[in-house]
Chains A and B, each alone.
Chain A
Amino acid sequence: MAPQLGFYGMPGILDMPTASALPDGEFATTLGHFNGNTRITLAFQMAPRLTGSFRYAAIADLDDTGLGGALFDRSFDLHWSVWDESGWRPALAIGLRDIVGTGVYSSEYIVVSKTFAERFRGTIGLGWGRLAGRGSFGNPIGRWAIRPDVDLGSGGTFAANQWFRGDMAVFGGLEYQATERLSLQVEYSPDLYVRERDGTFSLNSPFNFALTYRFNKTASVQAAYMYGNSLGVSLNLAFNPKRGPFGSGTERAPPAVVARPDRQNRPDLWTPVWADVAEFRAKIEADVAELLEKQDLTLVGFEISAQHVRVSFRNDRYRQTAQAIGRVARVLSARMPASVQTFEILPLADDVSTSVIKMDRSDIEHLEYAFDGTDGMRRAADISDAGQVDMPRPIAGAYPRFTWRLAPYNRVSLFDPSNPLIYDVGIQLSGTYRLAPGLSVYGAVRQKLTGNLNKSRLVRPYPQGAPPIVRSDSYEFNQFSDLTIERLTANYLFRPGENLYGRISVGLLERMYGGVSTELLWKVPGRRWALGVDVNHVKKRAYEQNLDLQDYEVTTGHLSAYFDLPKGYQFQVDAGRFLAADIGARFTVAREFRNGWRIGAFATLTNVGFEEFGEGSFDKGVILSVPLDWLRGKPTRRNVVRTLRPILRDGGARLNVRNRLYPLVRGRSDPKLTEGWGRFWQ
């Protein structure tokens, strides 16, 4: 039986959990409502046995802000599937609800589930916290008999000393798969909804009943009769980043590799005399630039001799650098005179060289139609750091060069304490003026067309001893509907040495800050870790987002360590001084799928105390990055990136600089380059 999502948006029957798990990598959104309780949950199967979720709930008539209306609550859950069902053994899972929220849903459980007679699944479990309501009994472990009262204060902290403590109660339920699409559920819930009963909630029975209709693998709807007096409905949408709607993509086929004629039959075509004719070399260069343009690639540097060709190029189209390299190799095979035997291809990261890929032309010709041609080509190609490699001479027109883009933008704030969805929509005009290799000026202006971000507001006062206001006044920046300057920076990216990358940015670095930002990255190709350091001196920008600055200024900087762990897991630590001059570290854990999906979470702990931080106690959130090519089937390197924070405060706030080096470089050097090599011939 397929795993079911309950009203909490996690593996469950209705309100009670089951021991099921979602398929690895599955991403599920649930919108459920019954009796004044609305829950929106984003759940993610982070690892085969670990499910995590972020929930935004509205509970009617329980407002604690003094604004009237509902209580808006944000919380996180974890569900660990200890083992799967096997033979007679039921599946076992342990879970924590509301681990770092305000504790509204705080509870823990141990649950087992077992399928029988093919169409039935029974579940029984023990619950603590709010799950230990009706029929609760004492904890048999003496030292855990008392569940300590925890002053959650502003919420957002782990109350680990509460977990699995105090009274416990039994819960359970039964699911019946009536048809392929229709299933029925019944459960017994010990949850007494004590806090909600201060509002409009009432409860007549511990039994809940539901019908679930599954439209397909993606969508299902659940209609329920809850707690003996109310109807409920829950909508589930699930998808798996591993299964894209367009599979591996539907981009245009690449040009064919053109094999050279046999040297013995056509020795005239193999003569290198052309290399001495400047006009001939210029014609080849122009042809290569034109052919690459047809592949949406930009030729930047070109050097050719009788036997070698070196090209550097910019790739703003293909997510996998290997695919762009493959297309460059095909173009070179089609246009290079027969005597040119080796290709050196340098993919650029914002005009800075990352790797140099050397390949023998004969290998390209022989392996295009080989069964193991992809692996064969990777074995044949020599990939190394390009830090100390002389760059090929820039082609005519490469510098200076101006490119621009006019596109709609949206700025969305989800789950704001005052409103679950606030947004602005408008037009952004951006442009890059490339002056010389690595040196460019970037600017972006925005004109808001519509939206309600200006209605966001600070709903809770600053606590005593709060750090300087560096982010929590972001709503002030939303009040202006005129043309605003999003960014305006002069940037210089360079390679100071082997395995080293450097960046200097000056100007309006982000929407809220301007100044100087410098960064140095050390990344050795092939190694799964890298180190970086950034130092920035910035002043806060005027709320109008023009060229003016406010008085607040700070020097901020971090030492960063990046780890690419197996199976797409990433870990990053940024330790240093944050915008409010607080000292601490941000820890980020993420899972990145090889098609560009990235889902992660971060937490920032600094010397700003939990009380001084205010609601939420410390900075934390969820990062979601969706590749547009996954959605559209056509190649693009663009992603839609959203950061969901329970609340934006001032402690642990970091400068949001464009073109940070690690994400810029990572995909264009090993091991990431080789991981995407499957697309070399695509």
Chain B
Amino acid sequence: MRFLTIIMFMGASILAGCDNGTVENPLPNNFAIIKALVSQSDVPLDPRTTLTVEQIEAVEVPILLIHAMDTTGIYILMDRVTTGRFTRWGELGGGEVIFDRNLPFRTHAFGADLLSVEASGTIAALTKREPATVTRMQTFLDSENQEVTIRFNCSVQSVGETSIHSLGRNIPTFLMREHCMSEDHDVTNSYWINRKGNMARQRVWINPRIGRLEFEFLSDQ
């Protein structure tokens, strides 16, 4: 789960592409992406501010971007497999996020990983774009391999039309917020749904250790 991994994956993509003589060599575009991702700074760059739609499309695989908002990290996941209502996104370094109808259900390799989430009420409210009072349960592993379950009482509210800026363009979305309270935690999750009805971006509190993760499906806007 390091920035180097992203570069390695990009490198692997280049090599894979070179093997196929019938496909236009994507080297120039990928090289530009790698160049944009490599920074002299220790602070990872957010590809949303440094890359364009064309460059992302040139990679020719779906891309999920994860921004760890409280622990400062940018991760790019490219390997996608769907089984029923669950979609697994993986990356070369072994990290993985599993979504249940576009909401994070399980994580791997983030530390204090999310084991499971029960958020059927939230999913229904987001699908209908209607306010709702729901319960939400999140289970994660602590450093002692013990399952910790947090039970939230949540209020899902419609905020309204808004735009998000990504890859050099403004994307019109409908914003919904979910305010959740448990005995020890008071958190707010945000969901930006695009005009196709797809989740364009979401900012979700995972657990006390990971904090908030922001997910953005870069290839499907």
Contacts and interface: CB of A to CB of B under 8 A. Distances in A.
Interface of A: 241-244, 246-254, 256, 259, 320, 369-375, 593-595, 630, 633, 675-676, 678-679, 681-682
B46 interface: no
Contact of B147 (A243, A320, A593, A678): A678
Contacts of B84: 369
Contacts of B98: 369
A401 B109 CA distance: 32
Contact of A247 (B111, B115, B137, B139): B111
Interface in B75-94: 81, 83-84, 86, 88, 90, 93-94
A249 B113 CA distance: 8
B145 A256 contact: no
B178 interface: no
Contacts of A256: 81, 83, 88
A248 B83 contact: no
A678 B83 contact: no
A215 B76 CA distance: 33
A253 B108 contact: yes
Closest 3 CB pairs of A and B: A252-B94, A247-B111, A253-B96
Given A259-B83, A678-B141, A248 B88 contact: no
Interface residues of B, number: 37
A251 B94 contact: yes
B6 to A, nearest CB: 16
Contacts of B94: 250-253
A375 B139 CA distance: 12
B1 interface: yes
A371 B209 contact: no
B108 A254 contact: yes
B138 to A, nearest CB: 10
A248 B145 contact: yes
A247 B142 contact: yes
A446 to B, nearest CB: 34
B189 to A, nearest CB: 18
16 contacts: A242-B143, A242-B144, A248-B140, A250-B109, A252-B93, A252-B94, A253-B94, A253-B109, A256-B83, A369-B84, A371-B116, A371-B139, A373-B115, A594-B145, A630-B143, A633-B111
A594 B86 contact: no
B111 A248 contact: yes
A250 B105 contact: no
Contacts of A243: 143
B107 to A, nearest CB: 9
Interface string B5-33: 00000000000000000000000000000
If over half of B's interface residues share one DSSP class (helix, strand or loop), that class is named, otherwise mixed; here it is: strand
A673 to B, nearest CB: 12
Contacts of A242: 142-144
Among B90, B96, B106, B113, chain A packs the most CB atoms within 10 A around the CB of B113
A371 B115 CA distance: 8
B144 A594 contact: yes
A679 B98 CA distance: 16
Contact of A373 (B1, B88, B116): B116
Nearest to A681: B115
Contacts of A320: 145
A371 B143 contact: no
Given A252-B94, A256-B81, A256-B83, A682 B144 contact: no
B214 interface: no
B95 A682 contact: no
Interface string B117-144: 1100000000000000000010111111
A375 B146 CA distance: 12
B112 interface: yes
Contact of B111 (A241, A246, A675): A246
Contacts of A593: 144
Contacts of A595: 143-145
Contacts of A244: 111, 143
Given A242-B143, A630-B143, A678-B146, 4 more contacts: A247-B111, A247-B209, A253-B109, A256-B83
B100 interface: yes
Given A247-B142, A595-B143, A678-B147, A371 B109 contact: no
A594 B147 CA distance: 12
A371 B141 contact: no
A678 B110 CA distance: 16
Given A256-B83, A369-B100, A247 B113 contact: yes
Interface of B: 1, 81, 83-84, 86, 88, 90, 93-96, 98, 100, 105-106, 108-113, 115-118, 137, 139-147, 209-210
A248 B141 contact: yes
B81 A682 contact: no
A368 to B, nearest CB: 9
B116 A248 contact: no
B144 A253 contact: no
Contacts of A633: 111
Nearest to B137: A371
B87 to A, nearest CB: 11
B117 A250 contact: no
Contacts of A248: 111-113, 140-143, 145
B115 A678 contact: yes
A372 B143 contact: no
Nearest to A593: B144
B115 A374 contact: yes
Nearest to B109: A250
A671 B144 CA distance: 16
Among B83, B86, B105, chain A packs the most CB atoms within 10 A around the CB of B83
Contacts of B81: 256
Contacts of A371: 116-118, 137, 139
B111 to A, nearest CB: 3
A250 B111 contact: yes
B143 A253 contact: no
Contacts of A679: 141, 145
A253 B95 contact: yes
Nearest to A247: B111
A252 B117 contact: no
A256 B105 CA distance: 14
Given A256-B81, A594-B146, A251 B88 contact: no
A629 to B, nearest CB: 11
Nearest to B105: A369
A251 B209 contact: no
Nearest to A370: B116
A591 B108 CA distance: 29
Contacts of B96: 253
Contacts of B144: 242, 593-595
A408 to B, nearest CB: 25
A247 B143 contact: yes
A682 B113 contact: yes
A619 B98 CA distance: 54
A249 B140 CA distance: 12
B149 to A, nearest CB: 9
Nearest to B85: A369
A630 B94 CA distance: 18
Given A256-B88, A678-B115, A250 B1 contact: yes
A608 B89 CA distance: 65
B71 to A, nearest CB: 10
A12 to B, nearest CB: 28
A595 to B, nearest CB: 5
B106 to A, nearest CB: 8
A249 B147 CA distance: 14
A682 B146 contact: no
Contact of A682 (B86, B100, B141): B141
